[in-house]
Structure 1
């Protein structure tokens, strides 16, 4: 139903348009329900003071007087003082379905409604519709056409000689030594008076008419033929003439649609890529008026000054924010716990674009080479640590020096290929450092290694936070209005002073533009400082290796028949039985559980850290700043969890600790699913425990594995590969679900992840309790060996006594 008040000058009436769908099994509508609602509607409507006009399609056969529904409908109208004016069939099947209802004594209808064929057509011009049209005149005035007052000057009628004469004789050329403000006022008043003299303002009232540029001559002829056919049909009332009129209507409608379509298509083609003109054309099509609404003001000059102050201030704010953005390290995440010296490449990404004459895409590909190198280092580091376990300090020292050298050379790369190779080398050294460092912690602390492992990973995050702060003072600052994103080649000229701007010519395929730097890039110094810090750390590990090494390899001659072949040594190196005291079945179980554990632990961590900001913005409508803030909150709690792990790993057994952490993740995920789908506060609050528990899963998993088997370099590599595969898999799956199934799939996937973590943790706990820890098995073995030695000593003493 549509109900509205129509006001034309002093005339006012209420128009109601009603449609009642016919009852069916699908809509389950009943006539009794309609009559109840119809009576309530009329009770409310008849008490209004305005004239009433009710029209629409009620789907009652009002021509059938014997129909009970028809009688009931007519009785309802009489009870409310209303009358239905339509006489004759309004449907092509010969029934009266449409109505025009007014008050009994109303004079708003000037003529009785007449039924005519409207010859309606669809978008393609084909006949459509099964209802006839109702025509009736109302006793209301025709609304006047809209008028608009415009002011203009006849500038073309100005005589050039006369206006030059008046300008020369004006006070502008006679008083040139006045103050600046007086001269400005003089120019304004004199020029305005001269212009008013030669081209005074003229006001005119215009009648606003609709745009009919699409109205062609062919359409005019078609409409003339249609009117001729209509007059002939009304005069003769023959069926053949009625059919001719209908065909004429169809032809005219098809031509009308074609004319409008061709006109607006040509307009859009002429506009091309001009979005402003396209937006204006769209507004015209939608009937939007081009009106400018200004704030209330008394003086136009004061209003113009306010606008000027606003935009000048806005430009200053934008420039300040762009300068701050150029000097900040927004490309890095200060709480990532997997990068140390390599973090500088992300912070200096824009400067590397300048150094390598490239763009964001190419430099991003080069930086991604660090991950490829990390995989290489993981594969190399595992066998190296197992083969040369006594030289872990030396491996770390050499890797630190190698990474420092690659870091120093990186900013001097002349092309992206060289930069990518250096970053791959640095990533390779990083992978070796990761495995060797964790193996050192496990060897030093043994069954109490869980706490120190948390501190180790916390240190990675601290390095990721410190490195961007070192690089910030040396980054280039681009002029606020310029950007180098689309530059295909950049040739820079260095200035001898830091404070001088640097002019860079950015050559594109179409034109050449000048790019101005407020401060030139000196990232070579930043890379050098980071490299010196990294290389200085290697000195400590060299000292540990050569001055404080307590274990020395001794070469014992082994008979040839029991020497192991190189192939057997390689097989033994990767054999799970090597880590599990010869129990291959137990070793395979631990390796499989460790792989699945890290697959889910790292996958869940990457999933939450990468999607929490997007989910907060997309689902909860956070602003960009709030989304970044909740992401930062997650990483802060993540770092706090790593630091807290030092105490929890010290005083809580690793078997219990891993269950507590997995339970915390599952409970937090369930609470997020229940409360955080619509509640912003719940999302903020529950993000903190999620970051806290997620941070401890990785180091605790390493500690749990070393508690049950000897966690060799191959075992650490196996865990890292599981984590890498899990991170990729979780992000791919959630990316697809998030895109095609909705934003809530983030929380659903989080609950699934928490359930998987709890499931595998329980299985790991059962397997661990069944077989016991390796330190417990070592204690039992030593006890058995001591018991055997005591038995042998007792036998010797007995033999001596017997001989005596």
Structure 2
């Protein structure tokens, strides 16, 4: 019993000594001239980081452009919220199919095709004029993104082995950076739509002009009608400038797909770095492996669902509920993803001196505290800005830390990663769709539904993690 207790304490507490060596070993591995695969692994890591940058842009661009997409297909935001369901359904399908495929096919070839499909899908989205066609296209894009999410996490673990921790943080930092850049491109760079349905010069002037022209002659009325049609076309073009962001993202993804094609043609290695054996030299297997994997999938369901919901609806919430201007709402959206990205960047270094469990606990405390304040002060501008920054920082490290935390107790395989991604995709599908449905109810619009959902998610994840910890600590 004493031996079991000592081993248990070493697993729970001595991991800090191991992770402190992780960053130094990671840097030294790239400098070894006698390791022919080191350069290839670094090139793969950089390409994967670029692909996750594009993945983050694809995920977050939907929030600030949701209103324009709804107008583009002649729907309102409540009626178009099911595109989240379509994208997440494709995400789930891509994850389930991609998991087995990555075990039997070249990962660079699969990732290259997935990036190519995502690129063409993003470029085609602004041309969708029917809601059903838009949903189908979102599902196809979701399939490609599911391939990328599953394959990227598995490939990082495969090529770096026991030294994958800091690389995993860097991978998800790239996702957060893309999620931060996307709203800036969509609304602050291209967005010029002010949400006004009136014609330039005022509706009364146009009406008076039409009346006088109709009174003068029929031919003059025809000319004025043509001018009004041209004005409407001009307004339509002016209103959808934010959709140009989809072309920018698509062009970036095309370049990344070319990079994967180059890696495939060069025969880049996909095996782990055998020069870095496991520090403990043990094959860890938790007693409740299946239960841990399933509970972590449920944990990611609420976490990722809350993350995507907040990032997608905070722009609309700030405009409609808090009464912010469009530029301020876009800035608030960018602040959330900005603090999210910055904290994930710092987490690369935190992972070298802090246990994953400690990082998760701090994140859950910050999420619960900030979401509670957002519910209590839902219309306060200062509370929105400060708590959004805190909430974004608190959400940042949960997903990569969750994978690193589980790896301390049991082996994380490709199938396990597929389960995590499916759980995350289900949360991304269900929570935004439920919120969009509730926002369409007039009697519920007086409540801060976005903030209430975030508080519920933070509470549930705070309960789930101690349960998982108890199962993982079982001898």
Residue in structure 2 matched with residue 788 of structure 1 by the alignment: none
- CA deviations 1:664-688 (Å, max 9, x no partner) are 3334455667x74797645543332
- Alpha-carbon spacing, 1:722–1:540, altered in 2? closer, same or farther (3 Å): same
Q: TM-score when scaled to structure 2?
A: 0.61
Superposition deviation, residue 449 in structure 1? 3.5
Residue in structure 1 matched with residue 412 of structure 2 by the alignment: 711
Q: Is residue 768 from structure 1 mapped to residue 469 from structure 2 by the alignment?
A: no
Whole-Å separation in 2 of the counterparts to 1:352 and 1:671: 31
Higher alpha-carbon deviation: 419-428 or 761-770? 419-428
Q: Is residue 723 from structure 1 mapped to residue 430 from structure 2 by the alignment?
A: no
- CA deviations 1:212-262 (Å, max 9, x no partner) are xxxxxxxxxxxxxxxxxxxxxxxxxxxxxxxxxxxxxxxxxxxxxxxxxxx
Residue in structure 2 matched with residue 441 of structure 1 by the alignment: 156
Whole-Å separation in 2 of the counterparts to 1:615 and 1:409: 27
Superposition deviation, residue 661 in structure 1? 1.9
Whole-Å separation in 2 of the counterparts to 1:733 and 1:366: 11
Q: Is residue 647 from structure 1 mapped to residue 349 from structure 2 by the alignment?
A: yes
Q: Please, which runs of 5 or more residues in structure 2 have no aligned partner?
A: 1-52, 201-222, 272-281
Whole-Å separation in 2 of the counterparts to 1:632 and 1:752: 23
Superposition deviation, residue 767 in structure 1? 3.0
Q: TM-score when scaled to structure 1?
A: 0.39
SS for the counterpart of 1:708 is coil
Counterparts of 1:264-303 in structure 2, within 5 Å, are none
Q: Is residue 428 from structure 1 mapped to residue 130 from structure 2 by the alignment?
A: no
Whole-Å separation in 1 of the counterparts to 2:174 and 2:252: 14
2:98 counterpart (368, 381, 388): 381
Whole-Å separation in 2 of the counterparts to 1:661 and 1:650: 17
Residue in structure 1 matched with residue 299 of structure 2 by the alignment: 597
Superposition deviation, residue 432 in structure 1? 0.5
CA contact (8 A) 1:344 1:468 kept: no
Superposition deviation, residue 646 in structure 1? 1.6
Whole-Å separation in 2 of the counterparts to 1:352 and 1:730: 19
Residue in structure 2 matched with residue 571 of structure 1 by the alignment: none
Whole-Å separation in 1 of the counterparts to 2:244 and 2:318: 39
Higher relative contact order (CA 8 A, sep 6+): 2
2:260 counterpart (530, 541, 546): 541
Residue in structure 1 matched with residue 360 of structure 2 by the alignment: 658
Residue in structure 2 matched with residue 126 of structure 1 by the alignment: none
SS for the counterpart of 1:443 is helix
Whole-Å separation in 1 of the counterparts to 2:246 and 2:316: 33
CA contact (8 A) 1:458 1:643 kept: yes
Superposition deviation, residue 374 in structure 1? 2.3
CA contact (8 A) 2:112 2:258 kept: yes
CA contact (8 A) 1:370 1:423 kept: yes
SS for the counterpart of 1:549 is coil
- Alpha-carbon spacing, 1:746–1:649, altered in 2? closer, same or farther (3 Å): same
Greater Cα radius of gyration, structure 1 or 2: 1
Whole-Å separation in 1 of the counterparts to 2:314 and 2:62: 25
Q: Please, which runs of 5 or more residues in structure 1 have no aligned partner?
A: 1-334, 484-502, 553-579, 772-804
Q: Is residue 460 from structure 1 mapped to residue 175 from structure 2 by the alignment?
A: yes
Superposition deviation, residue 429 in structure 1? 1.3
Residue in structure 1 matched with residue 232 of structure 2 by the alignment: 515
CA contact (8 A) 1:441 1:453 kept: yes
Counterparts of 1:169-318 in structure 2, within 5 Å, are none
Whole-Å separation in 2 of the counterparts to 1:687 and 1:384: 39
CA contact (8 A) 1:345 1:367 kept: no
CA contact (8 A) 1:662 1:754 kept: yes
- CA deviations 1:565-600 (Å, max 9, x no partner) are xxxxxxxxxxxxxxx979695221211221221123
- CA deviations 1:252-295 (Å, max 9, x no partner) are xxxxxxxxxxxxxxxxxxxxxxxxxxxxxxxxxxxxxxxxxxxx
Counterparts of 1:51-90 in structure 2, within 5 Å, are none
Superposition deviation, residue 371 in structure 1? 3.7
Whole-Å separation in 2 of the counterparts to 1:735 and 1:419: 18
CA contact (8 A) 2:378 2:448 kept: yes
Structure with greater helix percent: 2
SS for the counterpart of 2:234 is strand
Q: Is residue 756 from structure 1 mapped to residue 460 from structure 2 by the alignment?
A: yes
Superposition deviation, residue 770 in structure 1? 3.4
Residue in structure 1 matched with residue 58 of structure 2 by the alignment: 340
Residue in structure 2 matched with residue 402 of structure 1 by the alignment: 117
Superposition deviation, residue 653 in structure 1? 2.2
Residue in structure 1 matched with residue 274 of structure 2 by the alignment: none
CA contact (8 A) 2:286 2:409 kept: no
Whole-Å separation in 1 of the counterparts to 2:259 and 2:71: 35
Whole-Å separation in 1 of the counterparts to 2:68 and 2:435: 31
- Alpha-carbon spacing, 1:614–1:525, altered in 2? closer, same or farther (3 Å): closer
Q: Is residue 586 from structure 1 mapped to residue 288 from structure 2 by the alignment?
A: yes
CA contact (8 A) 1:373 1:425 kept: yes
Superposition deviation, residue 601 in structure 1? 1.5
Whole-Å separation in 2 of the counterparts to 1:691 and 1:595: 21
CA contact (8 A) 2:438 2:444 kept: yes
2:390 counterpart (676, 689, 700): 689
Superposition deviation, residue 648 in structure 1? 1.5
Q: How well do the aligned residues superpose, as a CA RMSD in angstroms? A: 5.1
Superposition deviation, residue 384 in structure 1? 1.7
Superposition deviation, residue 410 in structure 1? 5.8
- Alpha-carbon spacing, 1:594–1:480, altered in 2? closer, same or farther (3 Å): closer
Residue in structure 1 matched with residue 3 of structure 2 by the alignment: none
- Alpha-carbon spacing, 1:650–1:420, altered in 2? closer, same or farther (3 Å): same
Structure with greater strand percent: 1
- Alpha-carbon spacing, 1:454–1:418, altered in 2? closer, same or farther (3 Å): same
Superposition deviation, residue 452 in structure 1? 3.0
2:337 counterpart (635, 644, 654): 635
Residue in structure 1 matched with residue 207 of structure 2 by the alignment: none
Superposition deviation, residue 419 in structure 1? 5.6
Whole-Å separation in 2 of the counterparts to 1:443 and 1:529: 31
Superposition deviation, residue 482 in structure 1? 3.6
